[in-house]
Structure 1
């Protein structure tokens, strides 16, 4: 089973009913592009990364009780990069 299902659910049965993260991103990007009404975005990558990274870092930091070393290890990035991202997004 995909580990990116129902990340916040405590119920094993909810795992099978929640769409995967990649599906949620695809739906959101599709909706964003449709809402542009034919206009071409010039910073779509930055918009998506900002929208995804902010809650990702916030939730991982919350999960690890603010421990940057553990959070960085879980994210697979070094602590300096995590600190830089936290500062960039106003999370730390």
Structure 2
């Protein structure tokens, strides 16, 4: 089975999204994509960091306060 990169998956999903619109107009794609990617990314990284916020922030390359704000925004319980 062929492995796909994250970039390829996002590209494929966006192409399918536009195809499914069947010519209808859309807006807010930036926020839609970031929200769709950011929440699961935070959840998976937290799991891999054993719910240690300092370690998760380090893995993500952001500071701990930024991580905490994002967790609050998505209402992710730690």
Name the TM-score, length of structure 1 as normaliser: 0.78
Which consecutive unaligned segments of at least 5 residues does structure 1 have?
1-13
Residue of structure 1 in register with 2:55 after alignment: 70
How far did 1:31 drift?
Answer: 0.7
Q: Which residue of 2 aligns with 1:35?
A: 20
Shift of residue 74, structure 1, vs aligned partner: 0.6
C-alpha distance in structure 2 between counterparts of 1:34 and 1:62, whole Å: 34
CA RMSD of aligned residues (A): 1.2
Q: Which residue is 1:9 aligned to? A: none
> What stretches of structure 2 of length at least 5 have no aligned partner?
none
After alignment, is 36-45 or 19-28 more displaced?
36-45
1:52 and 2:30 aligned: no
Higher mean displacement: 69-78 or 35-44: 35-44
Structure with higher RCO (Cα < 8 A, 6+ apart) = 2
Report the CA distance between 1:79 and its aligned residue: 0.7
What TM-score does the superposition give when structure 2 sets the normalisation length? 0.91
Structure with the higher helix share, 1 or 2: 2
Number of the residue aligned with 1:88: 73
Q: Name 1:79's counterpart in structure 2.
A: 64
